[in-house]
Chain A
C-alpha cells in the first residue's frame, strides 16, 4: 500500500450536489482521492454512495459543484467520457453478456484486429490470460460466460475495469456477492493496482474487509461526508458510531411521534397469528422461521440485497419459496402465487408502485377493487353501487385526497396512489399484510397518515410485516425487528433493544456496542 500522496494529482470533488426531484441525494460533497490509495466509502442505504459512484462513472450528471482529476476539470456527458478520463467502474449490477466468452467480454469494444479487419481471437485470448495471471484471478479466457458462477461473473466485472489500466478504479460493492475466497482475489487486485499508483475507490458493507484494505475511510451520512479517517486509526465501533451519530432524523422523528404513541398504547401481543418456515434452499444461509403474533407489526431491516425483500416476496407468493410453509391460524395454506396468498388472507404490497401496483389510465375505484372483484357481484354483474360504496369508505378511511372516484389514478399524487394500492389490499380483508418499503418516496403527510392507519389496523388484530429502508419508520412502528445480514436473520431485536443504533449495527453484521 503506497502512502497517500497529497496535492493536485488526485481526484477531487468540490461541493458536489445532486437531487432526484425533491430528494437530495448529495448535499455538497467535497472529497479528495490521492493516487495509490485505497479509499473506502461507507454508508447505509440512501446515504448517497451509489449516487457518487454513478456521477464518477458518468451515468448521472451533477447539479452543481466541480470535479477535478490531476488538476483538470472533468465534465462528464456519458459513461464513455468517464472511461476516457481514466475512470473505470466495476458495478454491483452485472453487465456481462452471457453469449460471449470471458475474453470477448473482457475486451468488449477494444478487440485486437488482424490485417483483414477480423478479430484476432488468439491475441485476444492471450491478452486475457496474461491479465488473469498478473492479478491471480481464477478465470479462463475461452469459457463462455453463461457457464460462469455468479461469483466468477463478479470477478470478471472487476477484471474488465482493471484491464483498462485506469487512474481511478471504482469497486461498487464488488465483493457483496462473493464468498471469502473470491473476495480475497478482489482484495489482491486492490493491492496490486494501488501499488501501481491507481486510486481505488472501494464501496463495501463488510467492515472487516474495509478495515483490512483501506488507507482511508470516508463515511457518507444523508448526502454529506461524515468524516474521513486514516486507516490505522479506525475501529469497527468508531465507524458505526459515526454512522449512527450523524443520522439526520429530525424530520422523521416528528412525523412518527404519533405512531410511536400508538405503539406504546398497544397491548402486548398474545396469540400467534402466522408461522412461516422458509428453507435455506430458497437462497438463504439457514432455514428461516418467522413467527407473527396477532396485531403485531413486525419490522424487517437490512442493507440492500441481504435477503429481507426476498423473504417478503416469498411470503406474498410472488417468488418461489422452495417449499416454504405458510401456517395461518393453525392451518397450513398454499401461497404459490399472489392469487393463492390473497385468497388465504396474505396480502403483499409491492415497492414498485408504478410497475406492480397501479393500473394507469383506469379509475381510482377500479384500482381500489381489483383484488376483491368477486365480492362485488350479483348474478355475475359488478354492482356499481357497492363498488362505489366500498371504494368511498376505503378512501375516506385512508384519507385519499381525490376529486372523484371516477378520475384516473394518474391524477393522484404518489402518496395517494400508494394509499389506493394499500386500500386494495385492505378490501381483500387480509389477516397478514406485507408492506415492502411501501412508504418510500411519498410525501410526509401521506406517510404520517399511513403510519396511523397501520397502527389502527394492528389494534384491530391485523398482523403486519413491514420491510423498510427507513430505520426511524421501523423504530416508531415495530416492537420487534428482524435484521438481515448476508442472507440470514442476523438479529432479532425486541422491546428495549429496538433502537436505531442497534438496528444499524446489526445491518452491518455487528452485535453489541463496545467502548469505542
Chain B
C-alpha cells in the first residue's frame, strides 16, 4: 500500500502505512483513556510533539538525499540556547538569530560533505560534538524566563496550523525542480550527476533548509519548556532518525516523503503517551517504548507495498 508520490499519486505523501499506524495508536490511546480523543487534548499532544515534528522533517530531508545528520540534536541545543540568551533583544531578534544560526551551521555540514567528499555520518558526528560544546559554553546551565507569548506557539489550535504549514511547504517543494533534484540525487548520485544536476548545490540547499528546520524545532522546544537548556537536544537525534524511517524514508535515500516523517514523529509522541497511560514504572518505560517502536516498524514492513529487494550487483559485468 503506497501513495506513489513520485508519479502515481497527485501529491507526495509517501508510504501510506504510517498514517494507518497513527490511526491505530489513536485507537489504542482512546481505549486506555477515553478522554484522550477530545480535540483540546489532541491539540495538546500535537503541541508537545512539535519540536520532534520539525526535527524529523529536517532529518527526513537530509535522508532523502541518502545522507544523514547526526548533529540534529546538537544543533537544536545550540539554537535553543541562542533563543534564551537573545530573548532580551526581543522575540523577533532571538528567533531570527536562531534560524540564521541553524542555516549557517547546516550549510557548513553540507559544505564539508560535498567539498571534502567525506561521508555525512562522520562529518555530522564531529560537528555534533562541536555544537554541543558551543551550546554549553554559551549557556552552562538551563535558564527559564521566556515570555508567555512564545508559549502560544504550541498551545491552542496553533500546533495544527503550524503542522499544516510545514506539510504545505513540503508539498510545494516536492513539486519544484529542487524537489525533483533531491529525489534524483538520493536515488542515484551518479545518474543525477550525469543528467546535469549539481550535486554540490543541491546538497548545500538541503542541509541549509534542514538547519533552518532544526532551529524551528528548537524554538518550538523553548515554547513548550518556557526556557533554554544546553542539553535539551541530545536525545532528539536518534528520535528523528526513528521518525523518518517509520515514515517510510529509506536510509538509501530517494524514497519517501517528509509528510511521512511528520507522521512518524506523531507516532513516536503517541507511543510515549501509551507508555504513560499503561502506568509502567520508570524502570520499564524504556522497555515498553522500545517494544512499541519495534511493533510499529514491523507493522509498516508487513503492510508495505512489497518487501524492498536490493538488486545484487552481478559479478561479471562485461562479456567476451
Stretch with Cβ within 8 A of B (4 or more), from A47-55, A190-198, A207-215: A47-55
Judge whether B187 is part of the interface by a CB distance below 8 angstroms. yes
8 Å CB contacts to B: which residues of A357-414?
357-366, 369-371, 373-374, 376-377, 380-382, 384, 405-408
Question: A50 touching B320 by the CB < 8 A rule?
Answer: yes
Question: A373 touching B177 by the CB < 8 A rule?
Answer: yes
Write out the residue numbers on chain B whose beta carbons fall within 8 Å of the beta carbon of A405.
Answer: 7
Please give the distance in Å from A2's CB to the nearest CB on chain B. Answer: 31
Question: A338 touching B176 by the CB < 8 A rule?
Answer: no
Judge whether A23 is part of the interface by a CB distance below 8 angstroms. yes
- Smallest CB-CB separation from A19: which chain B residue? B319
Please give the distance in Å from B202's CB to the nearest CB on chain A. Answer: 11
- Smallest CB-CB separation from A373: which chain B residue? B177
Instruction: Specify which of A50, A342, A366 is in contact with B318 (CB 8 Å cutoff).
Output: A50
Instruction: Specify which of A60, A337, A424, A428 is in contact with B316 (CB 8 Å cutoff).
Output: A60
**Given that A356-B194, A359-B254, A382-B177 are contacting pairs, would A51 and B319 also be in contact in the complex, using a CB cutoff of 8 Å?**
yes
Judge whether A74 is part of the interface by a CB distance below 8 angstroms. no
Instruction: Specify which of B7, B172, B194, B315 is in contact with A338 (CB 8 Å cutoff).
Output: B194
Stretch with Cβ within 8 A of A (4 or more), from B152-160, B178-186, B219-227, B261-269: B178-186
- Smallest CB-CB separation from A469: which chain B residue? B320
**Given that A47-B320, A377-B177 are contacting pairs, would A318 and B194 also be in contact in the complex, using a CB cutoff of 8 Å?**
yes
Judge whether A156 is part of the interface by a CB distance below 8 angstroms. no
Write out the residue numbers on chain B whose beta carbons fall within 8 Å of the beta carbon of A365.
Answer: 7
Please give the distance in Å from A409's CB to the nearest CB on chain B. Answer: 10
Please give the distance in Å from A493's CB to the nearest CB on chain B. Answer: 23
Write out the residue numbers on chain A whose beta carbons fall within 8 Å of the beta carbon of B177.
Answer: 373-374, 376-377, 380, 382
Instruction: Specify which of B183, B191, B198, B318 is in contact with A357 (CB 8 Å cutoff).
Output: B191
A-B contact pairs, 30 of them (CB 8 A): A23-B319, A46-B320, A49-B320, A50-B318, A50-B320, A59-B315, A60-B315, A60-B316, A338-B193, A341-B196, A342-B195, A342-B196, A343-B196, A355-B190, A356-B191, A359-B254, A361-B254, A362-B254, A363-B6, A363-B7, A363-B8, A366-B7, A369-B180, A370-B192, A371-B195, A373-B180, A377-B177, A380-B176, A406-B8, A408-B7
**Category for how many chain A residues contact B:** 35 or more
Per-residue contact bits, chain A 139-163, to B (CB 8 Å; 1 contact, 0 not): 0000000000000000000000000
Q: Which of A20, A343, A365, A373 has the most CB of B within 10 A?
A: A373
Please give the distance in Å from A30's CB to the nearest CB on chain B. Answer: 19
Question: B194 touching A51 by the CB < 8 A rule?
Answer: no
Question: B319 touching A50 by the CB < 8 A rule?
Answer: yes
Write out the residue numbers on chain A whose beta carbons fall within 8 Å of the beta carbon of B318.
Answer: 50, 304
Instruction: Specify which of A59, A371, A407 is in contact with B7 (CB 8 Å cutoff).
Output: A407
Write out the residue numbers on chain A whose beta carbons fall within 8 Å of the beta carbon of B180.
Answer: 366, 369-370, 373, 382
Q: How many residues of B contact A (CB 8 A)?
A: 30
Write out the residue numbers on chain A whose beta carbons fall within 8 Å of the beta carbon of B175.
Answer: 381-382, 384
In the docked arrangement, what's the CA distance between A382 and B188, Å?
Answer: 21
- Smallest CB-CB separation from A317: which chain B residue? B196
Judge whether B203 is part of the interface by a CB distance below 8 angstroms. no
Question: B196 touching A428 by the CB < 8 A rule?
Answer: yes
8 Å CB contacts to B: which residues of A322-359?
337-339, 341-343, 348, 350, 355-359
B residues lining the A interface (CB < 8 Å): 4, 6-8, 172, 175-177, 180-181, 183-184, 187-188, 190-198, 254-255, 315-316, 318-320
Question: B194 touching A360 by the CB < 8 A rule?
Answer: no
Please give the distance in Å from A260's CB to the nearest CB on chain B. Answer: 25
Please give the distance in Å from B249's CB to the nearest CB on chain A. Answer: 13
Question: A362 touching B187 by the CB < 8 A rule?
Answer: yes
Please give the distance in Å from A420's CB to the nearest CB on chain B. Answer: 12
Write out the residue numbers on chain A whose beta carbons fall within 8 Å of the beta carbon of B315.
Answer: 59-60
In the docked arrangement, what's the CA distance between A355 and B188, Å?
Answer: 8
In the docked arrangement, what's the CA distance between A304 and B194, Å?
Answer: 22
In the complex, besides A348-B194, A359-B192, 18 extra interface pairs with C-beta distance below 8 angstroms are A20-B316, A48-B319, A338-B193, A338-B196, A341-B196, A350-B194, A355-B190, A359-B187, A359-B188, A361-B6, A361-B254, A362-B183, A366-B183, A371-B196, A380-B177, A382-B177, A384-B175, A406-B4
- Smallest CB-CB separation from B6: which chain A residue? A362
- Smallest CB-CB separation from A222: which chain B residue? B320
Mostly, the B contact residues are loop
Question: B196 touching A25 by the CB < 8 A rule?
Answer: no
Write out the residue numbers on chain A whose beta carbons fall within 8 Å of the beta carbon of B187.
Answer: 359-362
Per-residue contact bits, chain A 29-48, to B (CB 8 Å; 1 contact, 0 not): 00000000000000101111
Question: B184 touching A359 by the CB < 8 A rule?
Answer: yes
Write out the residue numbers on chain B whose beta carbons fall within 8 Å of the beta carbon of A23.
Answer: 319
Question: B196 touching A20 by the CB < 8 A rule?
Answer: no
Write out the residue numbers on chain A whose beta carbons fall within 8 Å of the beta carbon of B192.
Answer: 359, 370
Please give the distance in Å from B168's CB to the nearest CB on chain A. Answer: 13
Write out the residue numbers on chain B whose beta carbons fall within 8 Å of the beta carbon of A424.
Answer: 195
In the docked arrangement, what's the CA distance between A60 and B188, Å?
Answer: 29
In the docked arrangement, what's the CA distance between A371 and B315, Å?
Answer: 31
Please give the distance in Å from A499's CB to the nearest CB on chain B. Answer: 22
In the docked arrangement, what's the CA distance between A357 and B320, Å?
Answer: 23
Write out the residue numbers on chain B whose beta carbons fall within 8 Å of the beta carbon of A364.
Answer: 7
Write out the residue numbers on chain A whose beta carbons fall within 8 Å of the beta carbon of B319.
Answer: 20, 23, 25, 46, 48, 50-51
In the docked arrangement, what's the CA distance between A371 and B193, Å?
Answer: 10
Please give the distance in Å from A285's CB to the nearest CB on chain B. Answer: 24
In the docked arrangement, what's the CA distance between A380 and B169, Å?
Answer: 13
Instruction: Specify which of B7, B196, B198, B316 is in contact with A362 (CB 8 Å cutoff).
Output: B7
Question: B255 touching A361 by the CB < 8 A rule?
Answer: yes
Write out the residue numbers on chain B whose beta carbons fall within 8 Å of the beta carbon of A304.
Answer: 318
Please give the distance in Å from B311's CB to the nearest CB on chain A. Answer: 8
Please give the distance in Å from B177's CB to the nearest CB on chain A. Answer: 4
Instruction: Specify which of A51, A363, A373 is in contact with B181 (CB 8 Å cutoff).
Output: A373
In the docked arrangement, what's the CA distance between A116 and B198, Å?
Answer: 56
Write out the residue numbers on chain B whose beta carbons fall within 8 Å of the beta carbon of A338.
Answer: 193-196
Write out the residue numbers on chain A whose beta carbons fall within 8 Å of the beta carbon of B4.
Answer: 363, 406, 408
Please give the distance in Å from A337's CB to the nearest CB on chain B. Answer: 8
Write out the residue numbers on chain B whose beta carbons fall within 8 Å of the beta carbon of A45.
Answer: 320
Please give the distance in Å from B222's CB to the nearest CB on chain A. Answer: 32
Question: A339 touching B197 by the CB < 8 A rule?
Answer: yes
Write out the residue numbers on chain A whose beta carbons fall within 8 Å of the beta carbon of B181.
Answer: 373
Please give the distance in Å from A386's CB to the nearest CB on chain B. Answer: 12
Write out the residue numbers on chain B whose beta carbons fall within 8 Å of the beta carbon of A407.
Answer: 7
In the docked arrangement, what's the CA distance between A370 and B182, Å?
Answer: 11
**Given that A374-B177, A380-B176, A406-B8 are contacting pairs, would A356 and B190 also be in contact in the complex, using a CB cutoff of 8 Å?**
yes
In the docked arrangement, what's the CA distance between A339 and B181, Å?
Answer: 13
8 Å CB contacts to B: which residues of A102-157?
none
- Smallest CB-CB separation from B183: which chain A residue? A362
Write out the residue numbers on chain B whose beta carbons fall within 8 Å of the beta carbon of A48.
Answer: 319-320
| In the complex, the 9 A-B pairs of residues with the closest C-beta atoms, listed nearest first | A363-B7, A46-B320, A373-B177, A342-B196, A406-B7, A339-B196, A370-B195, A359-B187, A371-B195
